[in-house]
């Protein structure tokens, strides 16, 4: 006798006692269902986070931030010019490591559209590279160009939400706003580009689903453009962007005031760059570090903002979620395994005579062992597959009752692990009953009533 | 009397003792039994209950090993055999027919007959064919897909006989095969055993019924764990 005939016998036993077998499997079914649901939920959350991070610039985005100079060097701090355009220019000297550089200066301003509203905004002056560094996406028109920068052109790229605030009564396409003139602190600027509307993946899906239900007015019923949604999320800084060339911002709004340094020495509000190759992340950071040591005259007054810490925090929190979910599923599987062992013991007590007959016609102890083990394994495996179905149903119900932040993702590995665990539970819980059955004395078993 | 068993015998017991229980009050179920059965013999073992005939049958059937003495079945000394070797002997060399039929209730007739072949590792197609042949010998080819619960007692015992002979064993052991049957069906089964004897098989029939024992060519009578009479009819 081999495994296969053992499995056939097991299957026949299960078919003979469908309801009992189902009850036996129930613990495993629930265990696998919760295991699968837990995997799918955390995978969904992870996918949502990855997506969000990608939209925020990805792991490649690194910010140069300020750092308090330590006390023993405090007297030297004044020597450093701080974060200036000189840093940005220097970073451009590392094209093999740093692919894009985006210095930013910001100034609060009043925006006014002659044919629309007047709103206040934070205007950002930057370089064309900002498009890539901040992972902006142009919905209509263009982003800034080197020519804009060189000329100090009065051009502006607007975020989707800002367009909605300036022209709240217009619901045209993004392209309709191109070429219009707005004033920023009373100076005329031409709108050359509109950014795409940024939203989280699940928000987008929800809107799309709503749009399918009520085709035409849906976009506006949801609050028109993003500005009306009233919700500030992590993308609002992107959606409310007002972007002009750095040189324009400096010359129009900063210079001319007393004590204004030349542009190259002007302080930047932000300095971000993009690492060309993530494999050489550390190498890039140390190259940038030695570069900045030059521009900062040896003063250690800068630091790097990377997404790695954020990524690690995310991983840790995911792991703890998985651990607690796995614990619950594990307890359920354990209970399921005990249930299988219990039923198998009862079942062999019921079948002592059958086992005696099998022994009499030539079954070896290991054949009987294998038969019982195969039966419990099949129960575990079938329970695992039914549990997969139950898990999918559970996720569906969960999505209906409480809409999830991130839609669950069922990964093939989660399916394999869940069914694998169920099978393992089947094998383990069959070991003792199988051993008991294999120790039966054929004579006593044949006489058993 | 020789002390070494004869491998040419179908069954050969030499000074066999079987003692159940340990401690102060052991029970000697067999108390120095020597018995030789030649290939092709039809032997009945009789005796009252407690005479040791069942214990003797268990030893001959390789279901148990003796406390002392030597037991040879189909040329193999099983006195000290392990459970795997006993299982193989039961599987290849012995066919059992029990009083209570002992068919597996959830298997159909065909699968019941095939059962020994499964443990002999015979491939499925050959199993089917040999089960068919065995069913034909007991005249049950029209009941192959029935379950035991759908058969009469006589039919059940014929299935059991088919199962006993499907592996073409040298020795068929029948333990009160007519005990649960009416006279007509009992006679039917005894006729089947006689047919098998004629085709050259060794038959050992255990019974307490003198009328049934009379069908055998040799009657061994037991009492209190000893052979008290060994007569040819």
Per-residue pLDDT of chain A (449 residues; tens, 9 = 90+): 566 777 787 788 888 888 888 888 998 999 999 999 988 988 888 888 877 777 777 778 888 888 877 777 777 777 788 888 888 888 888 888 899 999 999 999 999 988 888 999 999 999 999 988 888 888 889 999 999 998 889 999 999 888 888 988 887 788 888 989 999 998 999 999 999 887 766 666 666 666 665 443 333 333 344 444 444 566 777 888 899 999 999 888 876 666 667 777 888 888 999 988 888 888 888 888 888 888 888 888 888 888 777 778 888 888 888 888 888 888 888 988 999 999 999 989 988 999 999 999 999 999 999 989 999 999 999 999 999 999 999 998 888 887 766 788 888 988 999 999 999 999 999 999 999 999 999 998 988 87
Residues in chain B: 233
B123: left (phi over 0), alpha (psi -120 to 50) or beta: beta
Closest among A123, A275, A251, A105 to A184, alpha carbons compared: A123
Q: How far does A441 lie from chain B, in Å, by closest CA?
A: 9
Would you call B72 helix, strand, or coil by DSSP? strand
Do residue A362 and residue B91 have CB atoms under 8 angstroms apart?
A: yes
- The domain segmentation of chain B, as residue ranges, is 11-232
Do residue A1 and residue B58 have CB atoms under 8 angstroms apart?
A: no
> Cβ of B83 under 8 Å from any chain A Cβ?
yes
Nearest CA in chain B to A2: B121
**Interface with chain B: mutation pick from A355, A362, A440, highest number of B CBs within 10 Å:** A362
pLDDT of res. B169: 92
pLDDT of res. A217: 37
Element (H, E) at A158: strand A155-158
Q: Which residue has the higher pLDDT, B34 or A447?
A: B34
pLDDT of res. B20: 87
Place of tokens 């969904």: A44
Q: Give the integer Cα–Cα distance in Å for B165 and B131.
A: 9
For B182-194, what is the mean pLDDT? 92
Q: What sign results for the dihedral spanned by CA atoms A311, A315, A321, A325?
A: positive
pLDDT of res. A222: 37
Do residue A1 and residue B121 have CB atoms under 8 angstroms apart?
A: yes
Q: If you average pLDDT over every residue of chain B, what do you get?
A: 90
Greatest CA span in chain B, whole angstroms? 56
> Cβ of B102 under 8 Å from any chain A Cβ?
yes
User: What is the number of CB-based contacts under 8 A between chain A and chain B?
Assistant: 62
What distance, in Å, lies between the first and last C-alpha atoms of chain B?
Answer: 24
**Interface with chain A: mutation pick from B108, B119, B160, B176, highest number of A CBs within 10 Å:** B119
Q: Give the integer Cα–Cα distance in Å for A406 and A53.
A: 14
pLDDT of res. A225: 43
Do residue A362 and residue B63 have CB atoms under 8 angstroms apart?
A: no
Q: Give the integer Cα–Cα distance in Å for A442 and A234.
A: 73
pLDDT of res. B89: 93
CATH code at B11-232 = 3.40.50.300
Nearest CA in chain A to B89: A362
For B52-80, what is the mean pLDDT? 91
Given a cut of 50, is residue B189 above it in pLDDT? yes
Strands A187-195 and A138-141: antiparallel
DSSP assignment of B29-44 equals EEEEEEEEE-TT-EEE
Q: What sign results for the dihedral spanned by CA atoms A225, A229, A235, A239?
A: positive
Strands B27-37 and B11-20: antiparallel
Contacts of B103 (CB under 8 A, 6+ apart): A357, B112, B148, B156, B159, B160, B163
Q: Which residue has the higher pLDDT, B23 or B213?
A: B213
Closest among A152, A4, A75 to B118, alpha carbons compared: A4
Do residue B96 and residue A443 have CB atoms under 8 angstroms apart?
A: no
Residue B4 pLDDT grade (very low, low, confident, very high; cuts 50, 70, 90): low
> Cβ of B179 under 8 Å from any chain A Cβ?
no
pLDDT of res. A202: 61
Under a CB-based contact definition with an 8 Å cutoff, are residues A289 and A70 in contact? no
Backbone angles phi, psi at A329, to 5 degrees: -60, -40
pLDDT of res. A1: 54
> Cβ of B25 under 8 Å from any chain A Cβ?
no
pLDDT of res. A172: 77
pLDDT of res. A209: 66
pLDDT of res. A220: 36
């Amino acid at each position: 006798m081999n495994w296969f005939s053992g499995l056939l016998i097991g299957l026949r036993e299960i078919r003979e006692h469908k309801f009992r077998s189902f009850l036996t499997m129930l613990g495993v079914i629930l265990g696998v269902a919760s295991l699968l649901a837990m995997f799918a939920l955390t995978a969904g959350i992870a996918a949502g986070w990855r997506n969000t991070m990608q939209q925020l610039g990805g792991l490649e985005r690194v910010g140069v931030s300020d750092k308090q100079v330590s006390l023993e060097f405090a007297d030297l701090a004044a020597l450093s010019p701080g974060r200036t355009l000189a840093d940005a220019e220097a970073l451009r000297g590392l094209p093999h490591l740093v692919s894009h550089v985006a210095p930013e200066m910001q100034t609060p301003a009043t925006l006014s559209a002659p044919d629309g509203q007047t709103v206040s905004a934070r205007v950002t002056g930057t370089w064309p590279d900002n498009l890539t560094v901040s992972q902006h996406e142009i919905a209509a028109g263009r982003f800034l160009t080197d020519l804009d920068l060189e000329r100090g052109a009065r051009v502006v790229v607007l975020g989707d939400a800002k367009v909605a605030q300036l022209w709240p009564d217009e619901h045209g396409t993004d392209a309709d706003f191109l070429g219009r003139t707005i004033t920023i602190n009373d100076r005329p600027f031409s709108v050359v580009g509109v950014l795409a509307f940024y939203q989280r993946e699940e928000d987008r899906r929800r809107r799309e689903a709503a749009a399918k239900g009520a085709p035409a007015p849906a976009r506006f019923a949801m609050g028109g453009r993003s500005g009306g949604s009233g919700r500030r999320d992590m993308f609002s800084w992107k959606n409310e962007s007002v972007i002009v060339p750095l040189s324009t911002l400096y010359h129009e709004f900063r210079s001319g005031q007393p004590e204004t340094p030349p542009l190259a020495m002007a302080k930047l509000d932000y300095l971000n760059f993009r690492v060309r190759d993530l494999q050489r992340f550390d190498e890039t950071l140390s190259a940038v570090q030695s570069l900045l040591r030059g521009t900062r005259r040896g003063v250690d007054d800068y630091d790097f903002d990377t997404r790695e810490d954020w990524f690690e925090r995310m991983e840790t929190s995911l792991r703890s979620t998985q651990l607690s979910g796995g614990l619950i599923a594990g307890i359920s599987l354990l209970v399921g395994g005990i249930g299988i062992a219990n039923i198998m013991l009862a079942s062999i007590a019921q079948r002592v005579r059958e086992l005696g007959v099998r022994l009499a016609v030539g079954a070896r102890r290991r054949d009987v062992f294998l038969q019982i083990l195969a039966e419990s394994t099949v129960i575990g495996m079938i329970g695992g597959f039914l549990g997969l179905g139950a898990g999918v149903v559970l996720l569906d119900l969960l999505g209906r009752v409480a809409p999830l932040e991130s839609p669950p993702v069922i990964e093939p590995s989660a399916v394999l692990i869940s069914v694998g665990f169920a099978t393992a539970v089947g094998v383990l819980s069959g070991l003792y009953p199988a051993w008991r059955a294999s120790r039966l004395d054929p004579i006593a078993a044949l006489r058993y009533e | 009397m020789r002390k070494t068993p004869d491998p040419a015998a179908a069954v050969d017991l030499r000074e066999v003792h079987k003692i159940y229980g340990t401690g102060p009050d052991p029970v000697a179920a067999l108390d120095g039994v020597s018995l030789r059965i030649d290939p092709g013999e039809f032997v009945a073992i009789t005796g009252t209950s407690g005479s040791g005939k069942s214990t003797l049958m268990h030893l001959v059937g390789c279901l148990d090993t003796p406390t002392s003495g030597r037991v040879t079945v189909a040329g193999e000394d099983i006195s000290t055999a392990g459970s795997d070797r006993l299982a193989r002997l039961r599987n290849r060399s012995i066919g059992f027919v029990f009083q209570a039929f002992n068919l597996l209730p959830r298997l159909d007739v065909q699968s019941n007959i095939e059962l020994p072949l499964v443990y002999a590792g015979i491939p499925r197609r050959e199993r089917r064919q040999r089960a068919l042949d065995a069913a034909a010998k007991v005249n049950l080819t029209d009941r192959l897909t029935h379950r035991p619960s759908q058969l009469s007692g006589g039919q059940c015992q014929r299935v059991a006989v088919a199962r006993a002979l499907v592996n073409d064993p040298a020795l068929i052991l029948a333990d009160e095969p007519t005990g649960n049957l009416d006279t007509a069906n009992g006679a039917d089964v005894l006729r089947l055993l006689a047919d098998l004897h004629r085709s050259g098989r060794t038959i050992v029939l255990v019974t307490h019924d003198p009328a049934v024992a009379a069908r055998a060519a040799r009657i061994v009578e037991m009492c209190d764990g000893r052979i008290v009479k060994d007569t040819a009819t």
